[in-house]
Amino acid sequence: MRTCVPPLVSSSPGTSARPPDAGHTVGATWTEAPCPVLVVDRHGGLVDVNGAARILLPGAVSGDWLHEHVPSWLCDAHRRITDGPRPADAAPLSGPIRERHFEAHPTAAGDGGVVWWLVDDTDRRLAEAALTDAQTRTEILSHVSSTLLSTLNVPRCMEVTASMAAEHLADAAVLVGPAKGWRQSLTYAVRGGPVSQVVQMVDVSGVPGLTEALQGFPPVPARWINPDDIPDWVTPDGFAGPVGSVIVAPLPGHGVPAGALILLRSSTEQSFSEGEEVFARLFAARAGAALSAARLYSEQATVTATLMRELLPPALTSVHGVEYAGGYRAAKDHERVGGDFYDVHPGSDPSQDTLVVLGDVAGKGLDAAVLTGKIRNTLHALLPLTDDHQRVLDLLNGALLSSRHARFVTLVLASVRRRGSRAQLRLTSAGHLPPLIVRADGTVEDVPSHGTLVGALPAVTAHTVRTVLGPGETCLLYTDGITEARGGPLGDEFFGEQRLRRALAECAGLPAEAVVERVQMLAAQWLGAGRHDDMAAVAISVPRSGPLTVLNGRAGVSNRRST
């Protein structure tokens, strides 16, 4: 049994005086106590009340019954106490009296009576409740922000927004996205249930305030919205209807509205308070910011991808009995394009030449890539003239010459035609590293073509070389990014032409893809994490007809695969 006022009371204003110990008499000082004090006999009759109690309970005088003046929670408590000792772990007694809220602390009086000390905790409770609400809301907002900020995917952002709104703000939430033509993207969430997304035609004007919210106008107060006016499409499946109250909150975007959020509570729940409405708007602001960031990102990414598609190296495959394979790595690993490029333009039929181009524009990144796009388009237009490489280079040179800068391109042209089991090649290097040829026996040859770089000088000259590839032989066109890969075990050496030749010597008889992959892998591993230029390689191979040469002791020192 609690016999004295707990320390809590001493911190409340006006109750610093420790009440007199339980005794047969109650000292006179209690009458001066600022908190209401009631002395009640064991039958529930009021023995005495102090001044503060008279203010609280006007008309209460000695001789009245307790239950005539106080609510039942206190009367019940009194009866329990006089019936027997309170368990030690009993919760503190508290409850409302006349619009205020009190903790009631009993002390024993004479003859089994009880002195009730009533401590007003109304303001503390209000403050505590407000604090808890504020904390919870801050936590919710912070959770919403961090969850939404982690994704730049629009459907995912909508899903998270609807689901969190249903979780924390309402019984159900509907996120109405900006219109796509005549249709609206709708994301439905019910508390504790799944989230569903649909795109359909709905009449947004049927929801009071929704049209305005979607246009970014200030929201219509919730109390103006009659739940009976809400059309059926708004209520998600699984909502324990009917709808009792509704909030329509705009999702403010970066300049353009990101949609609107409809919050629903069923009629069995309390309707939205003004505080909740304000909070819903804060929530919607966070969600709107995240959603428009995601929308902006995906629009940009889509635009970039569309533009980039033209600049990306093409996928290569077999054409008219000759295998082609290409590999590309941009200088900056976060970019996909750069100054190196290649193309294979198939001959219109097997009797026609297929044109292979591999080149390197001075510079890096998007700037260089844009120039490669121009060059690739020009060369495509010049395809009918490729019988004469020099003429193609002349025309390309004329097209690229600019008074504004001295940017140039170096490139290799290869015209390829299958003849029987072999392929005939015409190769022209315009200021570019000459191609290398791997013969069936593993010999690596230079192609002695040379010529002027293109696009910076008034005239170019070039020397075309003819050669033939037999079955299992490969011609490799490559850019200097490969031979100039700097790294290796000692960290500062060039990969160099010698290593490239050694690697190629092991590639006799391999399919074109395997040659390119091998070369790319060795160069990449040579680099490690080091910085590098754009790297590109194209292999032109005549498929082998017979089986691979049977292996012998060659699988010795030369048979190494770097990590």
184/410 with CB nearer another protein:
410
35/504 with CB nearer another protein:
504
Say whether residue 359 binds another protein (CB under 8 A): no
Among 312, 370, 401, 440, binds another protein (CB under 8 A): 401
Give the interface segment with another protein, choosing from 173-181, 265-273, 275-283, 483-491 (CB under 8 A): 483-491
Among 3, 146, 348, 443, binds another protein (CB under 8 A): 146
76/441 with CB nearer another protein:
441
Alpha helices in 150-255 (DSSP H): 154-168, 210-214
CB of 184 to another protein, least distance (A): 20
Say whether residue 265 binds another protein (CB under 8 A): no
Task: Give the span between the Cα atoms of 535 and 411, in whole angstroms.
Answer: 13
CB of 159 to another protein, least distance (A): 9
CB of 429 to another protein, least distance (A): 8
Q: How many residues line the site for another protein (CB under 8 A)? A: 75
Say whether residue 199 binds another protein (CB under 8 A): no
Q: State CA 318 to chain mean position distance.
A: 40
Strand ranges for 182-235 from DSSP E: 183-190, 195-200
Say whether residue 533 binds another protein (CB under 8 A): yes
CB of 333 to another protein, least distance (A): 5
Nearest to 515 by CA among 318, 325, 354, 319: 325
Say whether residue 497 binds another protein (CB under 8 A): no
Q: Which residues of 411-432 are buried (b: 16+ CB within 10 A; e: fewer)?
A: bbbbbbbbeeebbebbbbbbbb
Element (H, E) at 291: helix 274-311
For 244, the 3-state DSSP assignment is: strand
The CA R_g of the chain, rounded to the nearest whole Å, is 43
Q: Three-state SS across 306-366? A: HHHHHHCCCCCCCECCEEEEEEEECCCCCCCCCCEEEEEECCCCCCCCEEEEEEEECCCHH
Nearest to 131 by CA among 141, 123, 142, 119: 123
222/508 with CB nearer another protein:
508
17/465 with CB nearer another protein:
465
Give the interface segment with another protein, choosing from 24-32, 121-129, 146-154, 262-270 (CB under 8 A): 146-154
Instruction: Report the first-to-last Cα separation within the chain, whole angstroms.
Output: 78
49/454 with CB nearer another protein:
454
Q: Three-state SS across 124-144? A: HHHHHHHHHHHHHHHHHHHHH
Say whether residue 431 binds another protein (CB under 8 A): yes
Tokens representing 27 are 């000292």
What is the number of other CB atoms lying within 10 angstroms of the CB of residue 268? 10
Q: What is the DSSP letter of 76?
A: H
Q: Which residues of 66-105 are buried (b: 16+ CB within 10 A; e: fewer)?
A: beebbeeebbebbeebbeeeeeeeeeebbeebeeebbbbb
Nearest to 180 by CA among 157, 200, 208, 161: 200
* Sheet with 114-120, edge to edge strand ranges: 46-49, 37-40, 114-120, 100-108, 93-97
Alpha-carbon distance values, 46 to 49, 316, 327, 448 (Å): 7, 101, 98, 120
24/404 with CB nearer another protein:
404
CB of 307 to another protein, least distance (A): 15
Give me the DSSP letters along 474-504. EEEEE-HHHHT-EESTTSSEE-HHHHHHHHH
Among 407, 422, 439, 501, binds another protein (CB under 8 A): 407
In sequence order, the 6+-apart residues with CB closer than 8 A to the CB of 129 are none
Say whether residue 338 binds another protein (CB under 8 A): no
* Sheet with 323-329, edge to edge strand ranges: 323-329, 535-541, 474-478, 436-438, 444-446
394/480 with CB nearer another protein:
480
Say whether residue 315 binds another protein (CB under 8 A): no
9/361 with CB nearer another protein:
361
45/155 with CB nearer another protein:
155
187/410 with CB nearer another protein:
410
Say whether residue 138 binds another protein (CB under 8 A): no
342, 332 Cβ separation under 8 angstroms: no
Say whether residue 556 binds another protein (CB under 8 A): yes
345/432 with CB nearer another protein:
432
3/150 with CB nearer another protein:
150
Say whether residue 511 binds another protein (CB under 8 A): yes
Say whether residue 340 binds another protein (CB under 8 A): no
Say whether residue 389 binds another protein (CB under 8 A): no
Say whether residue 465 binds another protein (CB under 8 A): no
What is the number of other CB atoms lying within 10 angstroms of the CB of residue 140? 19
Site for another protein in 33-72 (CB under 8 A): none
Say whether residue 554 binds another protein (CB under 8 A): yes
Task: Give the span between the Cα atoms of 50 and 359, in whole angstroms.
Answer: 101
Say whether residue 483 binds another protein (CB under 8 A): no
Among 43, 405, 419, 466, binds another protein (CB under 8 A): 405
Say whether residue 312 binds another protein (CB under 8 A): no
Task: Give the span between the Cα atoms of 372 and 400, in whole angstroms.
Answer: 11
Say whether residue 253 binds another protein (CB under 8 A): no
x/- contact string, 200-239, with another protein (CB under 8 A)?
----------------------------------------
Say whether residue 336 binds another protein (CB under 8 A): yes
Give the interface segment with another protein, choosing from 110-118, 198-206, 233-241, 489-497 (CB under 8 A): 489-497
For 488: left if phi > 0, alpha if psi spans -120 to 50, otherwise beta; the answer is left
Among 131, 301, 303, 468, binds another protein (CB under 8 A): 301
Say whether residue 510 binds another protein (CB under 8 A): yes
Give the interface segment with another protein, choosing from 38-46, 199-207, 269-277, 330-338 (CB under 8 A): 330-338
22/521 with CB nearer another protein:
521
